[in-house]
Structure 1
């Protein structure tokens, strides 16, 4: 039976309301994570900042960890979607494989507070597990274009878990005042990825140049109305980018 226009409008309105509430919770959470730190922010703080009832939050998120996961994965997915155009003719498999984790490190190198959030993400198994799936799906999609098949998914997952562990430590390094140049970190990451995934890399400097060019062109926002890292001054704690 066909759905009436009135019923369709009500359903759309309900979905819009739910999404608006979800966004409000994520924006309030991001503000508090930056002001007070992730560990010191409570669900009670988020509910108060968002101006909602307990039930409204728990109808959309099971925990503070899930809120953080949604904030960061939404950002990464949106940024990677933007990268699709920049990767249209890219044939370097190391560039494609390293890009998601390179974005995390780039974000962390630009702001200690952003780095602290990324570090927290890597301390939670639920987010690490989600990251692993997201990265494997990303890699598989591009490898298919190159005619390369990932035959051992478990082996690929282990390799990515090892890579993500290293990336988490680098995020922690930047969160605690580290200032090693992003390009130097990228050099180590590219070498690790090429070796771990057995990918050809004939000129590491060319590979790094490509990754640098892509991440610097991306419009990176931790959440749509939240932290914009495009052009942020290094070590800035500002919530909004400085252009």
Structure 2
């Protein structure tokens, strides 16, 4: 069911994919979907956990040993932006993931500790609860920029610079440090990295779906 959903989400987007179409693609009856998931949002939550669980790890590996935590944060967010810009179905999945109650709550809960590690030196005596609440704000900022497509007058560089400035300012990062890190991020060619991640996502979905069909 999950493999079928990923395949259909990538082809048609989240909103246009119905639970009945997912069940049909999985070779099951429409009612079978609800034996596995309460609703489509519950299935999306499973996918969001997969999408978000390793994003910071990927950014750290890309940057090498002991990278600046601010750089890791900026690269991770920037890769999300590139993925959304390169794939409309994935843009929709990200935006919906940042919007629905269960998926957005998972994002806040799963990233609050990471955010605390990255920004604690700039936010004084803030506790985990404070970082959870600030993550609600930064996630809202990220969602807004993600939903807005780039164009001739709002380039990817403009988007990344403005997004990162907003987020870094929220966490009290000094202006000079902001400019330093943003400058470093804009020098990294993240587009092919994002494209590779999209291709890997599509490949894994197709291979998994085909393997399930072969077993059936």
Please indicate the TM-score interval, normalised by the length of the shorter structure: 0.7 to 0.9
8 Å Cα contact 2:95/2:146 also seen in 1: yes
Indicate if the aligned counterparts of 1:76 and 1:100 stay in contact, CA closer than 8 A: no
Segments of structure 1 that go 5 or more residues without pairing to the other structure are 1-24, 228-243
1:169-180 equivalences under 5 Å are 169-174=144-149, 178-179=150-151, 180=154
Q: Deviations over 1:137-192 (max 9, x none)?
A: 22234568x79986322322222211211222222222xxx433222111112212
Q: Number of aligned pairs? A: 198
Higher helix share: 2
Maintained 8 Å contact 2:14/2:89: no
How far, CA to CA, are the matches of 1:194 and 1:52 in structure 2? 47
TM-score by length of 2: 0.73
**Which residue number in structure 1 is paired with residue 127 of structure 2?**
152
Work out whether residues 32 and 41 of structure 1, in 8 Å CA contact, stay in contact via their aligned partners in 2.
Answer: yes
CA distance in 2, matches of 1:74, 1:199: 30
Tell me the residue number matched to 2:181: 207
State which structure, 1 or 2, has the greater radius of gyration over its C-alpha atoms.
Answer: 1
Identify the residue that residue 204 of structure 2 maps to in structure 1.
Answer: 225
* Root-mean-square deviation (Å): 3.2
Residue 169 of structure 2 corresponds to which residue in structure 1? 195
> Normalized against structure 1, the TM-score is what?
0.66
CA distance in 2, matches of 1:183, 1:125: 31
Is the 2:56–2:73 contact (alpha carbons within 8 Å) kept by the matching residues of 1?
no
Q: Return 5+ residue gaps in structure 2 as ranges.
A: 207-216
Match of 2:139 among 164, 168, 178: 164
